[in-house]
A and B are shown apart, each in its own frame.
Chain A
Amino acid sequence: MIRYILRRVVTMALMLLLISAIVFIIIKLPPGDILTNQIEELRAQGEQVSDAKAQMLMQQYGLDQPGWKQYAIWMGLWPGTDGFNGVLEGNWGWSFEYQRPVSEVLGGALLMTVIVNLATIVFIHLVSIPVAIYTARNRYTATSHAVTFLSYLGIATPNFLLALALLFYFNRWFGISVGGMMDPKYTDAGWSLGKLGSVASHLVVPVVVIGLASTAGMIRRMRANLLDELNKQYTLTAKAKGMPPTRALLKYPFRMALNPFVADIGNLLPSIVSGSVLVSLVLSLPTVGPILLQALKVQDQYLAGFILLFVAALTVAGMLVSDLMLAAIDPRIRLGQGR
């Protein structure tokens, strides 16, 4: 077991190094860099920027160095202006757009992102699992058909559209300010009951919007899994032996149907951090998603690179966790055998 974990960790580290290089190359692929973009923006507004000034900024930012060197300095594999000081040494890099360290830029946003996405995940599971169990047990009833119809609708609705409509009417009906994570008047205020309430009320729209498609999808999958299990011999046996129906459902078929979800944890972790970019953007949420998009747009290379790398790390870690958990809950799975 321990050897298995060690082996996985070493592969993960190598994989991440590879990913970091690929990420950096892809960010650098489009023509231009953060400076040409900034200068372009200024010019578009009718401001004049001399080439000499642009040159000076290039040097200041260290963007006149070759690409591989910029990468190596960022990773901490090559000495920069202040020696070896990169991701490997715990320094996440410098954001040109925000003019401050990446860790400061992401600090506040990470918390908000985790709040939004955790709330979403809880919402998804709280809604989808009971509904799925219900529809699986009561097939071919009117309610079941209605739920099925609704969940297809949920999968098909473009969520940014729903987001706008909900924002608009939540403002009309409940007076909740449009977008953001709290009412503007609380932005600078310290934490209080009012602020907490404001955050909670502002969470409703994003959570519903982000979670809707996944909830619908999860209902469908869970239901399909359960239906498979419900027709199997062991369920029949349990029923024949006089086990109460709820217990007969939850004790065996439900546990079997959970397997695919545990395998899904690997994807869940990264989506907690970077999921829902589009919706966050539309809803103007102060989360990591919009920062990532903006960083990619203006080629803020270290900021974008770090977010992508971090997400990759979470994915890889999530995969390991889900593999280990599967082994723990499902005795049929054995690690490292069959090799």
Chain B
Amino acid sequence: MAASFLRLLAGAALAASLCAPAHAQETVIDQPAASAAPQPAPAGTATPATYIEPPMLAEQVSSGKLPAIADRLPRTPLVVDPTENGRTVGRYGGNIRTLATKAGDLKYMTVNGYTRLVGYDEHLKLRPDILQALDNEDDRVFTFTLREGHRWSDGEPFTTDDFRYWWEEVATNADLSPAGPPELMVVDGERPKVEVLDATHVRYSWSKPNPKFLPTLALPSPAFIYSPAHYLKQFHGKFSDLKKLKEMASKQKLASWAGLHNKMDDAYKNANPDMPVLNPWMLATKPPARRFVFQRNPYYHRVDSQGHQLPYIDMVTFDIASGSLFAVKANAGEADLLAGGLNMGDVPVLREGEHMHGYKTLLWPIARGSAVALYPDLTINDPVWRTVLRDVRFRRALSLSLDRKTLNNSLWFGIGTLSNNTVLHESAMFSEDLQTRWANFDPEQANRLLDEMGLKQTEIGGFRSLPDGRELEIIVEVPGDSAEIMDALQIITEFWADIGVKLVLKPQDTTNMRERAYAGQTIMIAGAGLDNAVPTPIMMPAELAPVRQDSMSWPKWGQYFETSGRSGEAPDTPDAKQLMDLYKTWRSTGDEAVKRQAWQDLLRLNVDNQYVIGTVNGTLQPVVIGPHLRNVPEKAVYSWEPTAFFGVYRMDQFYFDDQPASEAAAR
């Protein structure tokens, strides 16, 4: 309701405001050419001779509360040269004002802060970050080298003991992890051999390759395989008085010390300000609050080439506000950096306030395979439907009958790209064929395919029938809260009626819908497309093969794989087996060329078989940046995975200039 009113106010500005960015040049993400092993930091970025103390901390340093900067940094900090990516060296200071709808959204600071053992850079190359170096033998033996003198945000040393603590006292502790260690640590049931070599070296080895190990550490919501032992031991039953722990736990309504430990061990959600972190900013406000302040971590391990310790910006402040107000508040100049919570419908409102408050609205392409995608359930219980849905001609016909151009024009101002549910133009694995195969608008061919299958129309212009005589009525189930998807389906209903297919829309509670799909009760589900549409070969192709229960095209096959055959159904069609083989090929090799080939074959097969019917991708995400904020890319891919929103663009390098961008340009 918020947006709709203001859309009226500024509706006229719409066309003009959207035209410009649509023609802006496109960024193409490079593929790493070399091996899957993370590459060392670019040579030539020498460690600066002296470091510059951030003014915010100067007083604490001079009064002796904090050690001087040289003593806070690791002996070998991560040196970054912002000019290498076409940015500028910044300056200290400032406070990024931004918005969140609830305290739970503070987890996005861990996503955007993007401090990982190994992490992707802007070109999606995996590089050591917290780690000083990493040695990877065929994805089987991983040796981590930590930075000597690296410290947690509370000043305590960060050492291999923190890795040992996590593995021995948390991950393999039956009370804390009743389900055993997380998935990334286990290969076909085998746990790794974990060797702590010395204070800065730790080694994980498996007998078979574990290619998901490193990518999982680099995820937006990563696996944390280290914990601040010095802080968490006080909540651990093995190291503290059980009676006292029990008392503390029951005060928090928790049944045991294990619950207490798990609650305090909060590396991701930013709900516990006492938890030491390695991130650029650390939470300084104790919840509950209406405003949360993050302050610079004095022990952060990255510096720029001129000796500034990152982050440049001292503070990040979140005000809790209702989502309906985000656009209006941005319009009033009340945010310096805001993306999540805004969508394309807000653009007129955002553009309208630009000249008054000097902020800028960037439009970044959203990296999802498709804004709206349809998932025919190949593992449905109903035998008749199963035969029909598994017939590739049927799925192709449904795709060919979609007039994607009309969809694009009516829902996304014609800005999106007509495409299958596949990788984006920005990805190096993109090809024209992936985008368009079976995705052109050809209702005649669609009708022909359906006729070939013997799905007869009983009367001219009427709906077709299933082989057993029932009307061909596809019930498409949708999460009830996604207006965009429902709008798209209303239009698709018309397209399908033209080829004699009846679409019935069934908005659903998401939980319910998932459970029905897992039980084989759904015919088709609508949702968004691929989560990761700018992949590189070392990322897991888990969305392209039947390996996950929550892939709505094959819930039962996915279940079978996830439970190692205990429940679900084994994939029994030749093409599904082919997908599984390719996935296994990807999983069992450390050779990147082979992985790339597997990815490309998977992409091709997925498009050719239309397991997921895509519509339009490359729709845009508005990103509001304040007039003084610098080093934010003009145009970049916006996604959860793999870019972690602002993560790979390194939010710690953003800084505030003393002049607004317009004046700086005129200088």
Q: How far is the CA of A286 from the CA of B291 in the complex (A)?
A: 11
Contact B319 A187 (CB under 8 A): yes
Q: How far is the CA of A184 from the CA of B96 in the complex (A)?
A: 13
Interface residues of B in 38-94 (CB under 8 A from A): none
Residue from the list B178, B180, B255, B332 in contact with A81, Cβ < 8 A: B255
Contact A82 B179 (CB under 8 A): no
Q: How far is the CA of A99 from the CA of B510 in the complex (A)?
A: 24
Contact A187 B321 (CB under 8 A): no
Contact A284 B332 (CB under 8 A): no
Q: Mark B220-259, 1 if CB is under 8 A from A, else 0.
A: 1100000000000000000000000000001011110001
Within 8 Å CB of B27, what residues of A? none
B322 at the interface (CB under 8 A from A): yes
Q: How far is the CA of A81 from the CA of B531 in the complex (A)?
A: 42
B270 CB → nearest A CB, Å: 13
A160 CB → nearest B CB, Å: 6
B174 CB → nearest A CB, Å: 11
Residue from the list B1, B253, B290 in contact with A160, Cβ < 8 A: B1
Q: How far is the CA of A282 from the CA of B317 in the complex (A)?
A: 21
Q: How far is the CA of A40 from the CA of B303 in the complex (A)?
A: 38
Interface residues of B in 280-302 (CB under 8 A from A): 287-291, 293
B25 at the interface (CB under 8 A from A): no
Residue of chain B at shortest CB distance from A93: B253
Q: Interface on chain A toward B: helix, strand, loop, or mixed SS?
A: helix
Within 8 Å CB of A47, what residues of B? 221
* A164-B6 in contact given A48-B183, A177-B332 (Cβ < 8 Å): yes
A231 at the interface (CB under 8 A from B): no
A180 at the interface (CB under 8 A from B): yes
Within 8 Å CB of B253, what residues of A? 81, 94
B173 CB → nearest A CB, Å: 12
Within 8 Å CB of A161, what residues of B? 1, 5
Q: Mark B176-208, 1 if CB is under 8 A from A, else 0.
A: 001110110000000000000000000000000
Interface residues of B in 546-598 (CB under 8 A from A): 550
Q: How far is the CA of A43 from the CA of B528 in the complex (A)?
A: 13
* A164-B328 in contact given A99-B263, A187-B319 (Cβ < 8 Å): yes
B630 at the interface (CB under 8 A from A): no
Contact B334 A184 (CB under 8 A): yes
Within 8 Å CB of B510, what residues of A? 40, 44
Residue of chain B at shortest CB distance from A107: B288
Residue of chain A at shortest CB distance from B251: A82
B2 at the interface (CB under 8 A from A): yes
A157 CB → nearest B CB, Å: 12
Residue of chain A at shortest CB distance from B479: A44
Residue from the list B102, B179, B512 in contact with A50, Cβ < 8 A: B179
Residue of chain B at shortest CB distance from A80: B253
Residue of chain A at shortest CB distance from B223: A48
Q: Which of A126-134, A146-154, A165-173, A252-260 contacts B (4 or more CB under 8 A)?
A: A165-173
Within 8 Å CB of A46, what residues of B? 220-221, 531, 640-641
* A286-B290 in contact given A36-B511, A94-B253, A178-B334 (Cβ < 8 Å): yes
Within 8 Å CB of B320, what residues of A? 284, 286
Contact A184 B97 (CB under 8 A): yes
B366 CB → nearest A CB, Å: 13
Q: Mark B351-388, 1 if CB is under 8 A from A, else 0.
A: 00000000000000000000000000000000000000
Q: How many A-B residue pairs have CB under 8 A?
A: 116
Within 8 Å CB of A56, what residues of B? 178-179
Q: Mark B140-178, 1 if CB is under 8 A from A, else 0.
A: 000000000000000000000000000000000000001
Contact B319 A184 (CB under 8 A): yes
* A164-B2 in contact given A40-B510, A60-B259 (Cβ < 8 Å): yes
Within 8 Å CB of B1, what residues of A? 160-161, 164, 282
| Contact count band on A | 35 or more
* A178-B332 in contact given A40-B511, A44-B510, A161-B5 (Cβ < 8 Å): yes
Q: Mark B506-538, 1 if CB is under 8 A from A, else 0.
A: 000111101000000000000000010000000
Contact B183 A281 (CB under 8 A): no
Within 8 Å CB of B6, what residues of A? 164, 168
Residue among A47, A82, A100 with max Cβ neighbours from chain B (10 Å) = A47
Contact B328 A52 (CB under 8 A): no
A214 CB → nearest B CB, Å: 21
Q: How far is the CA of A326 from the CA of B331 in the complex (A)?
A: 51
Interface residues of B in 293-346 (CB under 8 A from A): 293, 317, 319-322, 324-325, 328-329, 331-332, 334
Residue of chain B at shortest CB distance from A179: B325
Contact B328 A60 (CB under 8 A): no
Within 8 Å CB of B2, what residues of A? 164, 282
A161 CB → nearest B CB, Å: 6
Residue among A52, A53, A60, A98 with max Cβ neighbours from chain B (10 Å) = A60
Interface residues of A in 29-67 (CB under 8 A from B): 30-32, 36-37, 40, 43-48, 50, 52-53, 55-56, 59-60, 62
Residue from the list A36, A82, A178, A286 in contact with B329, Cβ < 8 A: A178
Q: How far is the CA of A180 from the CA of B329 in the complex (A)?
A: 11
* A180-B319 in contact given A44-B510, A50-B179, A99-B271 (Cβ < 8 Å): yes
Contact A284 B509 (CB under 8 A): no
A244 CB → nearest B CB, Å: 50
Q: How far is the CA of A36 from the CA of B512 in the complex (A)?
A: 10
A275 at the interface (CB under 8 A from B): no
Residue from the list B512, B550, B640 in contact with A31, Cβ < 8 A: B512
Residue from the list B5, B289, B334 in contact with A165, Cβ < 8 A: B5
Residue from the list A31, A44, A99 in contact with B509, Cβ < 8 A: A31
* A180-B288 in contact given A31-B509, A47-B221 (Cβ < 8 Å): no
Residue from the list B178, B263, B322, B550 in contact with A43, Cβ < 8 A: B550
Residue from the list B183, B254, B291, B640 in contact with A60, Cβ < 8 A: B254
Residue from the list B252, B254, B322, B531 in contact with A281, Cβ < 8 A: B322
Q: How far is the CA of A184 from the CA of B329 in the complex (A)?
A: 12
Within 8 Å CB of B179, what residues of A? 50, 52-53, 56
A282 CB → nearest B CB, Å: 6
Residue from the list A32, A53, A290 in contact with B322, Cβ < 8 A: A290
A104 at the interface (CB under 8 A from B): yes
Q: How far is the CA of A48 from the CA of B320 in the complex (A)?
A: 27
* A179-B321 in contact given A160-B1, A161-B5 (Cβ < 8 Å): yes
A105 at the interface (CB under 8 A from B): yes
Q: Mark B97-118, 1 if CB is under 8 A from A, else 0.
A: 1000011000000000000000
Q: How far is the CA of A45 from the CA of B532 in the complex (A)?
A: 12
Contact B255 A100 (CB under 8 A): no
Residue from the list B102, B288, B325, B328 in contact with A105, Cβ < 8 A: B288
A25 CB → nearest B CB, Å: 18
A162 CB → nearest B CB, Å: 10
Q: How far is the CA of A282 from the CA of B2 in the complex (A)?
A: 8
Q: How far is the CA of A37 from the CA of B319 in the complex (A)?
A: 24
Contact B291 A282 (CB under 8 A): no
Residue from the list B103, B255, B259, B324 in contact with A282, Cβ < 8 A: B324
A237 at the interface (CB under 8 A from B): no
Residue among B5, B255, B514 with max Cβ neighbours from chain A (10 Å) = B5
Q: Mark B594-636, 1 if CB is under 8 A from A, else 0.
A: 0000000000000000000000000000000000000000000
Contact B290 A164 (CB under 8 A): no
Q: How far is the CA of A171 from the CA of B289 in the complex (A)?
A: 24
Residue of chain A at shortest CB distance from B291: A187
A294 at the interface (CB under 8 A from B): yes
B564 CB → nearest A CB, Å: 14
Q: A52-B179, A187-B289 are in contact. List 4 more A-B contacts (CB 8 A).
A: A99-B271, A171-B332, A177-B334, A188-B293
**6 interchain pairs, CB-CB under 8 A:** A40-B514, A99-B252, A178-B332, A184-B291, A284-B321, A294-B102
Instruction: Name A residues whose Cβ lies closer than 8 Å to a Cβ of B.
Output: 30-32, 36-37, 40, 43-48, 50, 52-53, 55-56, 59-60, 62, 81-82, 94, 98-100, 104-105, 108, 160-161, 164-165, 167-168, 171, 177-180, 184, 187-188, 281-284, 286, 290, 294
Closest 7 CB pairs of A and B: A52-B179, A284-B322, A187-B291, A284-B321, A94-B253, A60-B259, A32-B511
